[in-house]
Amino acid sequence: MTDRRKPKRYKNILSWFTSDIPSSGSGNEIGSGSGSRNVTENSVNDVPINDSPPIPLEDAAIHKWETLRNPSKYIERVISTQSSQEVANNRLRLITTIESVRLLAHQGCAFRGRDESIDSSNGGNFNAVVNSFGRMNIEVQKVLENAPGNAKYTSPEIQKQIANIFANKVRTKIREEVGDAKFCILVDEAVDASNKEQMAIILRFVDCYGFIRERFFKVISVVDTCSQTLKNEISKVLAQYDLQVENMRGQGYDGASNMRGEFNGLQALFREECPSAYYVHCFAHRLQLTLNAAAKGVHDIWEFFSTLNFIVNFS
């Protein structure tokens, strides 16, 4: 005899096709599939009444078969498509932020504004540049407006990180420009608006074409201005970019005792490691001292700057 029973796999697929179709003889059951339950007096009021006509078995089976044979509707494909779109949106937002930071850094403009709230009439240069990119490109505007709260890439921390990446790339380029040539350092320190000591380092060297170059290299925050502290911080920066102190051929500082001191000044500490690193009193500081001395010789000018200095210190 021929076995007319259906294969087990076919029965499983057929049961999946018809799993959501209520059986015709289940008048005492509500629901479908594994979620069905017996009707009781206490459960009638809890079950919503479905007045819609039952879906024909053939239509439901055809619909599921179309879903099964269409790979684009698989759940993993749908999730993958959504993830790819999210990645593209995040990249577009990040590119907008990077280009905004690049523009402001190249022009030497301030990033932050006094009031960066949504209702502010002037939210700062960074927000203004980002908004201008959005007005020029509708896709940029769309991803900026629909950005999730944790992926906007416009926070001050992100701005600082991107600016720091740019600074590292510029310093690396300057290091390549120096090559194996000898170099000099120009150093000066000043107090910023938050009363923190900041030290600026400038490299002076002759490039491969025979031209003298001066490159602003780095600004460092220092705890104090004693010569040993400054020497340690400068040495760290030079060592980080493989600039050997032995190749230093000049030092240019102001005339303060911690810089030009013959025994314990900054120039003396570097000359202990490299005797060829001669110290030169910065000509810009010399010019400033000359102008100050000349101005004090004229009573009207001296009185003007004295009053101006008093006003600035008082405010």
Per-residue H/E/C for 37-67: EECCCCCCCCCCCCCCCCCCHHHHHHHHHHH
Q: In this structure, are 145 and 178 located in the same domain?
A: no
Q: In this structure, are 197 and 147 located in the same domain?
A: no
Q: How many CB atoms lie within 10 A of CB 118?
A: 6
Tell me what pLDDT residue 39 has.
Answer: 43
Q: Are 122 and 89 in contact (CB under 8 A)?
A: no
Mean pLDDT of the 141-167 span: 90
Q: Are 19 and 31 in contact (CB under 8 A)?
A: no
One-letter identity of residue 94: L
Whole-number Å distance between alpha carbons of 145 and 180 = 50
Q: In this structure, are 210 and 276 located in the same domain?
A: yes
What one-character DSSP code corresponds to residue 210? S
Q: Three-class SS string for 244-303?
A: CHHHEEEEEECCCHHHHCCCCCHHHHHHHHCCCCEEEECHHHHHHHHHHHHHHCCHHHHH
256 burial level (CB within 10 Å; 0-12, 13-18, 19+): middle
Residue 184 counted as domain residue? yes
Q: In this structure, are 277 and 179 located in the same domain?
A: yes
Q: In this structure, are 147 and 227 located in the same domain?
A: no
Predicted confidence (pLDDT) at residue 46 exceeds the cutoff of 50: no
At residue 33 the predicted structure's pLDDT band, cuts being 50, 70 and 90, is very low
Report the mean per-residue pLDDT for the chain.
Answer: 80
Tell me what pLDDT residue 297 has.
Answer: 83
Helices (H), the chain: 8-17, 57-69, 75-107, 125-136, 138-145, 156-178, 227-240, 257-260, 266-273, 283-296, 299-314
Predicted confidence (pLDDT) at residue 206 exceeds the cutoff of 80: yes
Which SS3 state, helix, strand or coil, does residue 9 take? helix
Whole-number Å distance between alpha carbons of 93 and 114 = 24
Residue 212 counted as domain residue? yes
At residue 41 the predicted structure's pLDDT band, cuts being 50, 70 and 90, is very low
Residue 307 counted as domain residue? no
Q: In this structure, are 147 and 74 located in the same domain?
A: yes
Q: In this structure, are 68 and 148 located in the same domain?
A: yes
Axis-axis angle for helices 125-136, 138-145 (nearest 10) = 120
pTM of the model: 0.65
Tell me what pLDDT residue 79 has.
Answer: 61
Residue 188 counted as domain residue? yes
Strand partners, 38: 29
Q: In this structure, are 76 and 149 located in the same domain?
A: yes
Residue 292 counted as domain residue? no
Tell me what pLDDT residue 35 has.
Answer: 40
Q: Which residue has the higher pLDDT, 182 or 148?
A: 182
List the domain range (segments joined by +) for residue 99: 53-112+121-154
Tell me what pLDDT residue 40 has.
Answer: 47
Q: In this structure, are 197 and 236 located in the same domain?
A: yes
The total domain count for the chain is: 2
207-259 pLDDT per residue, tens: 989 999 999 999 999 998 899 999 999 999 999 999 999 999 999 998 888 99
Q: In this structure, are 215 and 148 located in the same domain?
A: no
Q: In this structure, are 183 and 277 located in the same domain?
A: yes
Rounded (5°) CA angle 56-61-65: 155
- Cβ neighbours of residue 55 closer than 8 Å, sequence gap 6 or more: 20, 21
CATH number of the domain that residue 194 is part of: 3.30.420
At residue 295 the predicted structure's pLDDT band, cuts being 50, 70 and 90, is confident
Q: Which of 224-227's residues contact partners 24+ apart within 8 Å by CB, and which partners?
A: 224/197, 225/189, 225/197, 225/258, 226/258, 227/258, 227/259, 227/261, 227/264, 227/265, 227/266, 227/268, 227/269
Q: In this structure, are 147 and 184 located in the same domain?
A: no
Residue 206 counted as domain residue? yes
